[in-house]
A and B are shown apart, each in its own frame.
Chain A
Amino acid sequence: MAKCIAFHSYKGGTGKTTLACNFAAALVKKGYRVFLLDLDVSAPSIQAYFEKSPKRWVNDFLINEADVDDLATDMTDVITGNGKQNDSLNKNKNGKLWVGFCNPKKEEIYKIEGGKEEISKMQLLRKFILLREQLISEYAVDYIIIDTSPGIRYWSINALAVADILFLTLKMGDLDIDGTKKMADDIYGSLTKFGAKSYLILNRVAGFCIPHTVTKSLSDNAGLLIQEDQSNVSARISKTVGMDVISAIPCYCDIQFSRKEFLTVLKHPDHPFADQIERLSEDTHVKV
């Protein structure tokens, strides 16, 4: 049974796209068939992340100018290294990754934001429902991972409404936490009432900016202190926002300030960030 997972946040810059892309890659490594869909329509970034020029865009599909086969870009080679260097990462060889890229051109954004009058919002929404259905029936995907727009916007709400699991990502800072709580109350309650499951992902948890090369040399006691602190942060924010925390990812400066982070789960599988994403994918699989 295919599962749809939406990565969402109250504000931008929480690391949604990085998390969604790495999460999708981690699932492919485990042998799952995954479709990564960019639905951050007002600020798409997955095309820049993969540096790929797709044949057609998600936007084209939504306005009836492309079929699902045109927009589904097979990116499995990125995971498997085209049978070369990364082949061992795709352990059971069945994993597949398709990506649906969203067009960053302003004219194309305008069309699917309801600006093109001949296509109503309901028609756009129905095309989106059809896309989900076709990915499940024709591509036999195990997971659809959606990178949404932050906040309460038309397309982020649409993505959340079709998702089975909602990952609400937030980075530390009181404003972010207050806004997230309000959004959780306003939006997420309506969805969990009808079967969706929602979890918080705390990203860039402060106070842990210790390079993993250093943490390796710390004493066992120091390691325990870090774990304890993360646990306290998770419990506090879970209580404030009213949602369970599924993952608390420390702030890794090498990723945070990297000019071009790209699929750390593949490129640096021993990095603690990759370990966090692996655990998130395992926990998610258990929860669905």
Chain B
Amino acid sequence: MQNSEQDDTCAMCGKKINEQKKQILIEKIDDANYIFDSKDCALIFKRFRSLYGNDFS
């Protein structure tokens, strides 16, 4: 998973955010910006990152 700011896909669930007409949530994690389509996705992403380390992205 790349920092997906360019194509507006949620870094966790992989859904296109514009298609869902949801507000984009941008979070800075370890000096990189990640976009998410919900607080839930952002939280789960951080948990995976904490478990798997920086390889999870």
Using CB atoms and an 8 Å cutoff, list the residues of chain A in contact with chain B: 122, 126, 129-130, 133, 157, 161-162, 187, 190-191, 193-196
B41 and A161 within 8 A (CB):
no
A191 and B13 within 8 A (CB):
no
B51 and A129 within 8 A (CB):
no
Give the chain A neighbours of B1 by CB distance below 8 A: 122
B44 and A190 within 8 A (CB):
no
Give the chain B neighbours of A133 by CB distance below 8 A: 13, 40
Give the chain B neighbours of A161 by CB distance below 8 A: 44, 47-48, 51
> For residue B40, which residue of chain A has the nearest CB?
A133
B44 and A162 within 8 A (CB):
yes
The secondary-structure label for the interface of chain A is helix
Docked complex Cα distance between A122 and B14 (Å): 9
Give the chain A neighbours of B13 by CB distance below 8 A: 126, 129-130, 133
> For residue A129, which residue of chain B has the nearest CB?
B13
Chain B residues within 8 Å of chain A by Cβ, number:
14
Of B12, B14, B41, B43, the contact of A194 (CB 8 Å cutoff): B43
14 A-B pairs with CB atoms under 8 Å apart are: A122-B14, A126-B13, A129-B13, A130-B13, A133-B40, A161-B44, A161-B48, A161-B51, A162-B47, A187-B51, A190-B47, A191-B47, A194-B47, A194-B50
Docked complex Cα distance between A197 and B7 (Å): 34
Residue among A122, A130, A194, A195 with max Cβ neighbours from chain B (10 Å): A194
B16 at the interface (CB under 8 A from A): no
Given contacts A129-B41, A161-B44, A162-B44, contact A190 B51 (CB under 8 A): yes
